[in-house]
Structure 1
Amino acid sequence: MNNLQQRILTGILFVCTLVGSIAIGKWTFFALFILISYLATNEFYHLAYRAKARPNRKIGIATSIYIFISFFLIASGLVPSKVTLGIIPLIVGLFVYELYRDSKVPFLNLAFTILGLVYVTTPLALFNFFVFPPSVTGTPVYSPHLLMGIFIFVWINDSGAYLVGSRFGRHKLFERISPKKTWEGSIGGGVLTMSAAVVMSRIFPQYGLIDMVVVALITVIAGTLGDLVESMFKRSIEVKDSGSFFPGHGGLLDRFDSIILAAPMVYFYFRLIS
């Protein structure tokens, strides 16, 4: 199997697993994304080792799992929001534990450990609030439409930017970080995503046209910036991929880099207008 065939097969399996797990129900969603949260946070900490840091993986990953579970329970209405207070002793534990590590770079270790929680874990945990939107009855009901729409927007934007950019791209978008990205590709991907937003507003009528267009716009802008941010991180430690989880595609962070910055902004938008 050549590299192209491997990439296509891996991509198809990834999309089918992701869409299937989200569509089936809340427990398949939970199982998949708590696993992704764990693996992606761990992948980030492995990258941090390349940056000469020694993040506290054990407490960091334990905190990551706690954040995802608590957000799921809160969003689904099973526990009150004060359950997030449990994060406080875990964060304090990071600082206390660092006292006993006898490291020459405690600032760096703590910074990377907490950055993994902010940059990777929290955006993924916010998915819980997308699949449990506010209900008029007050009882949250699992609804995968918004999260599914965001992923579709990300895929359309990425594919559109690649196709338009490879054909018409002339002006570099951010050459220092990503030499292949062009303004033409980004605009092309954005136009296709906006068009998809119109269609999505018809498929998911509970979200109006304005909401879908705003979500698409956020996804295009924040998603592109998220891709660039991850490229910046990888360039700083001179690696091509964040990992090797997906044969031919790189690591989990390579697949979720766009949505990592888009998810918090989509959450911010819906909280702002609620």
Structure 2
Amino acid sequence: MSNLAQRVITAVVAIPIVFFLLWFSDYSRIGLMCFLAGVGAWEWAGMACKMYKGPDTRYLSFASSLALTLAWALSKGDYFGMPAVPYVVGMTFLLIFAIYIGLAYAKVEIDHLFPWLVMQLGAPLYVGLWGGMNVLMMGNGQGFEHCYPFILVMTSMWLCDTVAYFFGKFAAGKGPFGRHLFAPSISPKKTWEGSIAGSIATIAWVTYWAKCTSALSVFGAEINWVSAIVIGLLLTVAGQAGDLLMSALKRWSGTKDSGNLFVGHGGVLDRCDSFYLAAPALYLLMDFLQKLG
């Protein structure tokens, strides 16, 4: 079976499950986000362990990123019928930071201590502390209306990746389109043509949904055409930057796929790499526009 056929079958199975979990309740939403954060951090730690001598931190990374994602949900409040818990994110991270430092001092040789610590801390820092912010765009209750902003990010990243992949694979280098490599030292198959095509599709998608629907009304900020285009541009730039960051991590560690959770697609970091950067970027922008307005 070809890789493309595997990708399509996996998508047909996985997409309805993801949307059901997003629709069902705050428990299923937060559970999904915690699971993805934990598995993503597990994959990150596994790649980092290949490069520096030290203890296997995959279980610690899983638990740390899951805890930070859950801490973001608790800090917001309204989830699980609970009020907001103050300082829970900072306290959780300080505890995780202390554990990693203690583990490094106890188990890692001095020649590898600092690079080991930086790369291993990258998992909870990036996936949990930063990427875990995506739960701030969700609410409690049953229905898609409680997570429209995240769905907008998710579908935008899927659209950008899909258009860039197919355009770069089948159109770039043919007819009027050239074939200029986007980041050959990181991801040799990516082209500027595919990136631009994906960006245009994403900006159009985001502009329509941000301006013509209630997808971002939860933030209370007025969305005009200019701000909608800016939001679309932010998402496509942040998403592709997140994609390149994970590609660089895989190339640095000599890893083809971060994992094998999604047949034909790879692991969580292969599929959700763009979410971890784009979703928090959207939340911070919308929070800024809300306060500005």
CA distance in 2 between partners of 1:233 and 1:71 (Å) = 25
CA apart distance, 1:155: 1.0
The two structures have a TM-score, normalised by structure 2, of: 0.82
Q: Which residue of 1 aligns with 2:220?
A: none
Segments of structure 1 that go 5 or more residues without pairing to the other structure are 134-141
| Distance change >3 Å, CA 177–CA 126, structure 1 → 2 | same
Change (3 A) 1:25 1:214: farther
TM-score (ref. length: structure 1):
0.87
Structure 1, residues 43-73: CA drift from partner, whole Å, max 9, x if none?
Answer: 1111111223436444443332221111111
- Decide which moves more: 151-160 or 9-18: 9-18
C-alpha distance after superposition, 1:211-245 (max 9, x if no partner): 54333211211111111111111111222111111
Provide the residue aligned with 1:117 in structure 2: 124
In the alignment of these two chains, the number of paired residues is 267
Q: 1:125/1:102 Cα in 2 relative to 1: closer, same or farther (>3 Å)?
A: closer
Contact 1:197 1:209 in 2 (8 A): no
Q: 2:80 aligned with 1:79, yes or no?
A: no
- In structure 2, which of residues 136, 153, 156 is the aligned counterpart of residue 153 of structure 1? 156
Secondary structure of 1:196's partner? helix
Task: Give distance in 2, aligned partners of 1:212 and 1:76.
Answer: 28
More moved, 103-112 vs 198-207: 198-207
Separation in 2, partners of 1:24, 1:257:
24
What's the counterpart of residue 176 of structure 1?
A: 185
Alignment partners' CA distance in 2, 1:122 and 1:86 = 10
Deviations 1:55-113 (A, max 9, x none): 64444433322211111112234233322223313312321233322534222332122
SS in structure 1 of the partner of residue 273 of structure 2: helix
Other-structure match for 2:34:
34
- The 8 Å contact of residues 230 and 254 in structure 1, kept in 2 or not, is answered as yes
SS of the counterpart of 1:96?
A: helix
Give CA-to-partner distance per residue, 1:118-146, whole Å, 9 cap, x none. Answer: 2222233111111149xxxxxxxx72100
Q: Which runs of 5+ in 2 are unaligned?
A: 173-177, 218-222
Deviation at 1:3, TM superposition (A): 3.9
1:89 aligns with 2:95: yes
8 Å contact 1:153–1:196 — kept in the other structure? Answer: yes
Identity %: 26
> 1: CA distance between counterparts of 2:42 and 2:265?
18
Structure 2: how far apart are the matches of 1:58 and 1:164?
39
**2:100 aligned partner, one-letter code:** L
Partner residue in 2 for 1:227: 243
CA distance in 1, matches of 2:215, 2:244: 33
The answer to whether the Cα contact below 8 Å between 1:178 and 1:231 also exists between their aligned partners in 2 is yes
> 105-114 or 39-48, which moves further after superposition?
105-114
Task: Report the Cα distance in structure 2 between the residues aligned to 1:22 and 1:212, rounded to whole angstroms.
Answer: 24
